Amino acid sequence: MLTVYEMNPASFTYNCPFILELKGKLNVVSLHQALMKLCARHDSMRSYLSLDSDGITTQRVIATESFEIPLACWNGAQLQFLTSADFPIIEPSKPGPAGILEWLREEAKRPFNITRGPLFRAVLARIDSMQEHLLLLCLHHAITDGHSVGIMLKELASEYTSEAKGADCVQWQYADFTSGSDAFQNRRFSSPRFSTGQNSWRIFPCFSYRPISLDHLSQQKREAVFP
């Protein structure tokens, strides 16, 4: 993917944008904090690509304390930036919902610099009233795929609800699963879901017997090839 980027840095082919329609009263500060917690939990959302000294593509992860997700907010009159991250975005040129939607679509086409990061940005736009917003979330394909989007949206909604209520939303990282951490495995093995799955295998007769011990040919005494 880094090679493709170096061949055409201006391409937005690998941009993965989606626009969410948010209805009801929105707490922008809580939304910002939810996005930051989501990025803090998943190293991949703070990653970018670069070449090491041997010319091999390497994944780099921005430290949580120095990471800021680019987040811009259009309140209907002016463009506000909720973070100090570099965000070269201009105000919408056309008024009304149709103009704002067109503006968001154009922003979704702006290419990422995958050798610097971040590869994730967000734009929030208010539509006519305080009760309706459009949220653009744009990620590079280097840090996401189609399956990951659904997981991210689910966690974002959970984080936003917890942040608005002042509660903590503790989630596991994918690295906890792959590394087999004791805390993750203990929670997994003690869950009712695991017990149900384990018991389901015991109902099959073929699993109720111990395997038969076989004498392999390598364990049998052989005659010498050369007398």
Q: What is the mean pLDDT of residues 62-70?
A: 85
Model pLDDT, residue 109 = 93
Cis peptide before 118 (omega within 30 of 0): yes
CB 48 within 8 A of CB 64: no
Model pLDDT, residue 48 = 92
Structure tokens at 127: 């539509």
pLDDT above 80: residue 83: no
Model pLDDT, residue 218 = 61
Where along the chain do its domains lie? 2-171, 176-205
Determine phi and psi for 60, rounding to 5 degrees: -115, 145
Residues 6 or more apart whose Cβ sits within 8 Å of residue 48: 59, 60, 62, 114, 115, 116, 117, 118, 119, 142
Model pLDDT, residue 95 = 76
Taking the C-alpha atoms of residue 190 and residue 102, their distance in angstroms, rounded to an integer, is 50
10 Å CB burial of residue 115 (0-12, 13-18, 19+) is middle
Q: What is the mean pLDDT of residues 30-34?
A: 90
Task: Express each pLDDT in 84-113 by its tens digit.
Answer: 767 777 788 887 888 888 999 999 999 999
More confident site: 189 or 131: 131
> Residue 215: pLDDT band by 50, 70, 90 thresholds?
low
pLDDT above 80: residue 210: no
pLDDT above 60: residue 180: no
Model pLDDT, residue 104 = 92
Task: Express each pLDDT in 128-152 by its tens digit.
Answer: 777 889 999 999 999 998 888 888 8
CB 161 within 8 A of CB 153: no
Q: What is the mean pLDDT of residues 40-54?
A: 87
Taking the C-alpha atoms of residue 165 and residue 159, their distance in angstroms, rounded to an integer, is 10
CATH topology of domain 2-171: Chloramphenicol Acetyltransferase (3.30.559)
Task: Express each pLDDT in 9-20 by its tens digit.
Answer: 999 999 999 999
Please give the mean pLDDT across all residues of the chain: 81
Model pLDDT, residue 11 = 93
